[in-house]
Amino acid sequence: MMLKNPEDRRARRSRKLLKESLLELMKQKTFADISVRDVTDAADMNRGTFYLHYSGTAELLQSLEEDLLEEIQALVDAHMQETVAVGSVAPVFEPVLDFAVEHRETCAVLFTSSEASGFFQSIQRLVHENGTPLVRAWFSPADPRQTDYLLNFLAWGFIGLLAEWFEKDMALPKAELLAAAQRMAEGASAALFAQEGRGRK
21, 40, 98, 127 from 72: Cα distances, Å: 22, 28, 10, 11
pLDDT in tens, 149-197: 999 999 999 888 998 999 899 999 999 999 999 899 989 988 888 755 4
Question: Contact, 93 vs 101, CB < 8 A?
Answer: no
Dihedral sign of CA atoms 30, 36, 42, 43 in order: positive
Average pLDDT estimate for 45-56 = 96
pLDDT on residue 117: 67
pLDDT on residue 193: 86
pLDDT on residue 28: 92
What is the distance between the alpha carbons of residues 49 and 151, in angstroms, rounded to a whole number? 41
pLDDT in tens, 67-121: 999 999 999 999 999 988 888 888 999 999 999 999 998 988 888 887 766 888 8
pLDDT in tens, 11-37: 999 999 999 999 999 999 999 999 999
Q: What angle do CA 124, 200, 188 make, to 5 degrees?
A: 35
Question: Contact, 56 vs 29, CB < 8 A?
Answer: no
